[in-house]
Every structure is written in structure tokens, then in C-alpha cells.
């Protein structure tokens, strides 16, 4: 199988999805209004609510939702063969992720920038909202705890990435000052920022930085995790324009340069895909492809975490409602492009089928390392880049996206804590909420793992919980559409499929945890299952009530 053909089919399908399907959704279903005043204007505070250029906002949204997950999921799932992973990423991006991310952003912007969890209270009741917030909090805990472990592992295994990763923060701070304080147009900060970032990659490749094996009795991984949470806490407290926006924006540009290099390497190197389309020689203990494929590949096909970002931070920065199509739907397309690149790296980046099988010896043995190794090989063969430089570029790409996800994830976790406090009649200030969010993540990281890797303990539940959250988010969007008297089939079909696969996967995992006597994960699995079924039931009841005459009339008046 030609990797060029796979690349062209995947990119072509996603492009058509954005050009035509997203336009249909924007005009006929969500009915975007260019004159609608978004929360960034009506509630602007210069900290979280800030009207933002749509390209900068796209960079924030895309890199916040990307993280390492759109690489890790496909890099693991190709163990079943490249065809199932390719089809789910491509079709999932067009018909699932795009309408989910776009819809969460639109729904939040139409409701004072409320998170999807808080918004659910008005639509499905207080009980459903409380259970929804439980699922959201667990997803954020998993993301923040696990991504800290993933980043620390990469910083230790790839010391050439240390200088560019931390140097990118300085670059972002300077870009933020140039754009917002000194009103410099977007072009030159973008060009100079990307050039400096890649210069830092060259410097890092020449000057690797490795911590001692132990620092004050802590392992190198533990030290990196402490530094990462300290950074994420500070970043989450700063106004979004100071660091969050410019860091995400420049990382988004860096990603497209990185993707451009990968796809150019495919075009010029024309590697053959050595992995089978459907793998009939699966290693022992590999789980069934149904339903596990649909929860192993979450980000890159559809992910509930995207809805948290869209309704948590992105909606508060939306300048015009019509920007939601570009930011939300095209953000999902960008992530689909990254997952497609990961599939190609992990199936065409090996010399032979035997080499590929030597890496994929068991379920879960792919991951970031397979992406970095395979991608480095593609860059070396297709573009002539030194293998170590190619590996550094890809490692930096993975770390920067995981880092921006931590920035946003910790801010979102603080929002959830503040919202829960509001429901309990307690006002939680920003600093205390941040300290509490970091404290919970650190307790998980170091309480369940001596080297700070405790975040990985509950990671096996991330895929199912994340997809449950995506289904529940689609349920809230569907309720909104039904109440407004608009067609809901375009969100209803994805939500039914996703909830069915995710609940099926939860039940499968429940049996696995019971047999392994893993009572922690079994207990969490039961809690998540009960919450999901309860919120689903509340949503179905709300849907059966049909259109709300007041909402329908207001919608009619808005359209004139």
C-alpha cells in the first residue's frame, strides 16, 4: 500500500468535510449570526474573556486539544491494522469531531461562555449536571496527571528536546507582548517566532540537557513533573493573552511546519506501508477491535476533552460567532491531520513487516516512541534530515502539545472547582482553586507512583471516560437543537453510536479489572458507568419533551 495514496485520500476527505459539511452545519443547523455579541465582548475582563483574532484562537484551541493523545491513540491502534485506524480517524474527524467541537463552542458562546457541564443544569436538571461535573473532573484529572508523566518521560529519553521546550515559553511571552501591548501585526511575530523556535531545536539537538539521576533524593522524572506542574499553575493564573494564547498559537504554527515536513517526507520518499491493512496475527491478549478501537483512538476522531476546551476557554475568547466554524471544526480537522500523520509514521516508518512486528509485540507497545522512531526514519529517508534531528523535532512537537494541554487542562480544572463551589454556595477564588487543582493532580502523581508517574495508574480509563464525555456533550447539543426546533439528526446519530461503543467498552473493562482484582479502577469504572447512564437518561427525557415554544419563537425572531 502506498503511503502517498493514504495521505492524499485522508487529507482530501478532511478538506472536503471542512469546505462543504461544516458550511452546511454552520448555515442550516447552528445558524451562526455575524451580528451576535459573544461573551468575549459582553463579559470582557481582560483575563479569561478576551476577544481574539480567529487565527490566534484557532492556535489556542487546536494545540490545547491536541496534546499527545492524537499521536498515542493511533500509534497504539494500528496494532489491529492501518485500515480500521485510518477509517475511524477520517470519518470520525468529518462526521463526529467536527460537529462536536464546533457545537460545544457554539452552545457555550450562546450561553455566557458557560462550560458544557454547567450548561447541562438548565437543560437536563441539577442531578444530571452534578454527575456531568464528576465525569468532567475525572477526565481532567486523568489528562493532567498522565500528560505530566508523558512529558517527563520524553524529557528524560530525549534530552535534546529540553532547550526548545522551555525556550518556547520565552518566545511565547515575547510574542504576547508584541501583539497585545505593542500592537504589532500578526505576520512578523509569527515568522520570527517560528524561526526562533526551530533555531532552538537545532541548538537543543547540539546541546542536550539531562538532569542527574537524582536531585535532592528525587528522580529526574519527579523533578520534571514538579517543574511542569509549577509552570502549569503559573500559566493558568496569567491572563490568557500573556502566555496561553501566544504559546498555543506559535505551537500551532510549529505543528503545521512539522506536519509539512512529515507529509513532504512521504511525498518525496514514497515509503510503502509495511503494516497489514487488517492484522490477522495479533499478539496474545490483544483486546477485541470492537469496541476498543473507538476508545483507543479518541483525540483525532472525537474526544470529550475537546468539548471542555471549546466551552471552557475558547468560547470566552470568540470574537465573532461566525469564527466558531473555523476555530471549532477546522481545529478538529487539524487534529485529524496529526493523527493521520501518526498512522503513516507508525506503519510506513519501518523498513520491513518484521521490524514493525518487533515493536508491536503487545497491545499498548506502540505509542509516542513508535511515532518518534517511525517519523524520524521518514524524515531521514524522504528529506535527508539526520535521524537524531528528526527525532528531536517530533519529540519537541509531542511535548509542546502535551504541555499546552496541561496549561489549558489545569485552568479548566480550576473552573470546574469554582463551578462546584458556586453550586454549593461557596465562592472559590482563583488562587485557591488553582492550588486545589494542582494539589489533587500532585496527590495522584506522587501518591500512586514514587517517581510521579501515578497519573498513569488511572490512564486505562481515559479512553472510555473521554468518549463517554463526548457522547454526553453531543447529548446536550442535541437537546439544545430539539428545543429550538432545529434538525438534530446530525448530532443524534454520532451520540448514539459513541455512547453505545463507550458503554460497551466500560463493561468490557469492568470485567478485566475484576479479573485482575484492580479494585481502584473497578470502582471508578462503576462510578463512571452510573453517571453516564444517569445523564443519558436525563437527556433522553429532555429530548422527548420536544421543541420549546419560547425557544422556537426566539429563534424565529432572530432569523427575522
Strand partners, 52: 318
Locate cell 492550588: which residue?
435
Q: What is the pLDDT at residue 217?
A: 81
The number of beta carbons lying within 10 Å of the beta carbon of residue 45 is 10
The C-alpha atoms of residue 119 and residue 114 are separated, in whole angstroms, by: 6
Q: What is the pLDDT at residue 26?
A: 96
Strand partners, 214: 219
Residue 193 corresponds to which cell in the numbers above? 517566532
Per-position DSSP letters for 524-535, written without gaps between them: HHHHHHHHHHHH
Q: Which domain holds residue 309?
A: 3-460
The C-alpha atoms of residue 455 and residue 441 are separated, in whole angstroms, by: 8
Residue range 349-375: average pLDDT?
83
388 to 132, 194, 205, 287, 356: CA distances (angstroms): 45, 20, 8, 34, 20
Within-domain flag for 542: no
Within-domain flag for 484: no
Q: Over the range 324-352, which residues count as b (16 or more CB within 10 Å of their CB) and which as e? A: bbbbbbbbbbbbbbbbbbbbbbbbbbbee
Enclosing H/E stretch for 262? helix 244-269
Least confident of 22-26, 104-108, 146-150: 146-150
Say if CB 195 and CB 201 are below 8 A apart.
Answer: no
Tell me which residue of 324, 304, 327 sits closest to 106, measured CA to CA.
324
Condensed to tens digits (0 to 9), the pLDDT of residues 264-313 reads 999 998 899 999 999 998 888 888 999 999 999 988 899 998 999 999 88
Please indicate whether residue 68 or residue 466 has the higher confidence score (pLDDT).
466
Q: What is the 3-state secondary structure (H, E, C) of 479-513?
A: HHHHHCCCCCHHHHHHHHHHHHHHHHHHHHHHHHH
Q: What is the pLDDT at residue 449?
A: 59
Condensed to tens digits (0 to 9), the pLDDT of residues 511-523 reads 989 998 988 889 9
Within-domain flag for 259: yes
Strand partners, 215: 218
Condensed to tens digits (0 to 9), the pLDDT of residues 488-510 reads 999 999 999 999 999 999 999 99
Within-domain flag for 224: yes
Across the chain, what does the average pLDDT equal? Answer: 88
Locate cell 467498552: which residue?
505
Enclosing H/E stretch for 219? strand 218-219
Q: What is the pLDDT at residue 166?
A: 92
Residues above pLDDT 90, as percent of the chain:
41
Condensed to tens digits (0 to 9), the pLDDT of residues 21-76 reads 999 999 999 999 999 999 999 998 888 899 999 998 998 888 888 767 788 889 99
* 76 secondary structure, DSSP code: H
Condensed to tens digits (0 to 9), the pLDDT of residues 113-138 reads 988 888 888 888 877 888 888 888 88
Question: What are the backbone dihedrals phi and psi of residue 100, each rounded to the nearest 5 degrees, phi first?
Answer: -70, -55
Tell me which residue of 485, 128, 134, 143 sits closest to 298, measured CA to CA.
143
The number of beta carbons lying within 10 Å of the beta carbon of residue 517 is 7
Condensed to tens digits (0 to 9), the pLDDT of residues 394-452 reads 778 778 877 878 888 888 888 888 888 887 788 888 889 999 999 988 888 777 656 66
Tell me which residue of 302, 237, 230, 340 sits closest to 348, measured CA to CA.
340
Say if CB 367 and CB 76 are below 8 A apart.
Answer: yes
The C-alpha atoms of residue 512 and residue 485 are separated, in whole angstroms, by: 43
Locate cell 468518549: which residue?
467
Q: What is the pLDDT at residue 81?
A: 95
Within-domain flag for 240: yes
Within-domain flag for 479: no
The number of beta carbons lying within 10 Å of the beta carbon of residue 190 is 19
The C-alpha atoms of residue 357 and residue 533 are separated, in whole angstroms, by: 39
CB within 8 A of 358, min separation 6: which ones?
none
Say if CB 332 and CB 125 are below 8 A apart.
Answer: no
Least confident of 282-296, 373-387, 449-463: 449-463
CATH number of the domain that 49 lies in? Answer: 1.10.4160
The C-alpha atoms of residue 238 and residue 230 are separated, in whole angstroms, by: 13
Q: Over the range 233-247, which residues count as b (16 or more CB within 10 Å of their CB) and which as e? A: bebbbeebbbbbbbb
Residue range 307-326: average pLDDT?
94
Within-domain flag for 156: yes
The C-alpha atoms of residue 251 and residue 265 are separated, in whole angstroms, by: 21
Within-domain flag for 521: no
> What total of structural domains would you count in the chain?
1
Amino acid at each position: 500500500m502506498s503511503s502517498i495514496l493514504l495521505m492524499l485520500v485522508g487529507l482530501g476527505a478532511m478538506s472536503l468535510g471542512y469546505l462543504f459539511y461544516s458550511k452546511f452545519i454552520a448555515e442550516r443547523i447552528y445558524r451562526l449570526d455575524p451580528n451576535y455579541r459573544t461573551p468575549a465582548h459582553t463579559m470582557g475582563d481582560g483575563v479569561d474573556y478576551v476577544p481574539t483574532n480567529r487565527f490566534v484562537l484557532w492556535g489556542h484551541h487546536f494545540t490545547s486539544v491536541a496534546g499527545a493523545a492524537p499521536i498515542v491513540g493511533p500509534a497504539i491502534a494500528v496494532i489491529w491494522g492501518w485500515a480500521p485506524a485510518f477509517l475511524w480517524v477520517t470519518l470520525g474527524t468529518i462526521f463526529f469531531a467536527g460537529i462536536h467541537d464546533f457545537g460545544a463552542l457554539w452552545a457555550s458562546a450562546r450561553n455566557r461562555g458557560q462550560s458544557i457541564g454547567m450548561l447541562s443544569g438548565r437543560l437536563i436538571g441539577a442531578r444530571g449536571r452534578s454527575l456531568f461535573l464528576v465525569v468532567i473532573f475525572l477526565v481532567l484529572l486523568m489528562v493532567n496527571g498522565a500528560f505530566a508523566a508523558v512529558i517527563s518521560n520524553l524529557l528524560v529519553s530525549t534530552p535534546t528536546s529540553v532547550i526548545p521546550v522551555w525556550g518556547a515559553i520565552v518566545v511565547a511571552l515575547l510574542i504576547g507582548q508584541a501583539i497585545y501591548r505593542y500592537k504589532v501585526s500578526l505576520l512578523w511575530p509569527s515568522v520570527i517566532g517560528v524561526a526562533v523556535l526551530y533555531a532552538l531545536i537545532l541548538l537543543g539537538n547540539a546541546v542536550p540537557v539531562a538532569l542527574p539521576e537524582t536531585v535532592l533524593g528525587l528522580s529526574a522524572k519527579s523533578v520534571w513533573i514538579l517543574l511542569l506542574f509549577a509552570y502549569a499553575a503559573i500559566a493558568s493564573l496569567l491572563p490568557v493573552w500573556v502566555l496561553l494564547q501566544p504559546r498555543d498559537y506559535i505551537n500551532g504554527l510549529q505543528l503545521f511546519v512539522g506536519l509539512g515536513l512529515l507529509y513532504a517526507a512521504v511525498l518525496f520518499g514514497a515509503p510503502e506501508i509495511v503494516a497489514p491493512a487488517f492484522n490477522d496475527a495479533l499478539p496474545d491478549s490483544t483486546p477485541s477491535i470492537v469496541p476498543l478501537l473507538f476508545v483507543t483512538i479518541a483525540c483525532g476522531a472525537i474526544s470529550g476533552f475537546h468539548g471542555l476546551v471549546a466551552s471552557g476557554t475558547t468560547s470566552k475568547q470568540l470574537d465573532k460567532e461566525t469564527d466558531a466554524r473555523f476555530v471549532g471544526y477546522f481545529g478538529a480537522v487539524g487534529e485529524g491531520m496529526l493523527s493521520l500523520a501518526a498512522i503513516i509514521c507508525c506503519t510506513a516508518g519501518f523498513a520491513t513487516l518484521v521490524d514493525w512486528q518487533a515493536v508491536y509485540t503487545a497491545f499498548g507497545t506502540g505509542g509516542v516512541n513508535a511515532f518518534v522512531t517511525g517519523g524520524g526514519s521518514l524524515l531521514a529517508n524522504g528529506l535527508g534530515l539526520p535521524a537524531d534531528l528528526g527525532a528531536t523535532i517530533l519529540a519537541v512537537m509531542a511535548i509542546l502539545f502535551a504541555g499546552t494541554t496541561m496549561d489549558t487542562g489545569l485552568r479548566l480544572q480550576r473552573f470546574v472547582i469554582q463551578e462546584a463551589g458556586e453550586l454549593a454556595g461557596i465562592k472559590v477564588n482563583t488562587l485557591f482553586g488553582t492550588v486545589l487543582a494542582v494539589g489533587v493532580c500532585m496527590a495522584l502523581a506522587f501518591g500512586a507512583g514514587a517517581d510521579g508517574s501515578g497519573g498513569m495508574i488511572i490512564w486505562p480509563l481515559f479512553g472510555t471516560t473521554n468518549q463517554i464525555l463526548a457522547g454526553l456533550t453531543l447529548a446536550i447539543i442535541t437537546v439544545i437543537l430539539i428545543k429550538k426546533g432545529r434538525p438534530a439528526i446530525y448530532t443524534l446519530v454520532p451520540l448514539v453510536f459513541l455512547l453505545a461503543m463507550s458503554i460497551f467498552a466500560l463493561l468490557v473493562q469492568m470485567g478485566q479489572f475484576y479479573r485482575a482484582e484492580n479494585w481502584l479502577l473497578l470502582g471508578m469504572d462503576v462510578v463512571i458507568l452510573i453517571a453516564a447512564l444517569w445523564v443519558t437518561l436525563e437527556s433522553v427525557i429532555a429530548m422527548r419533551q420536544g421543541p420549546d415554544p419560547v425557544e422556537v419563537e426566539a429563534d424565529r425572531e432572530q432569523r427575522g
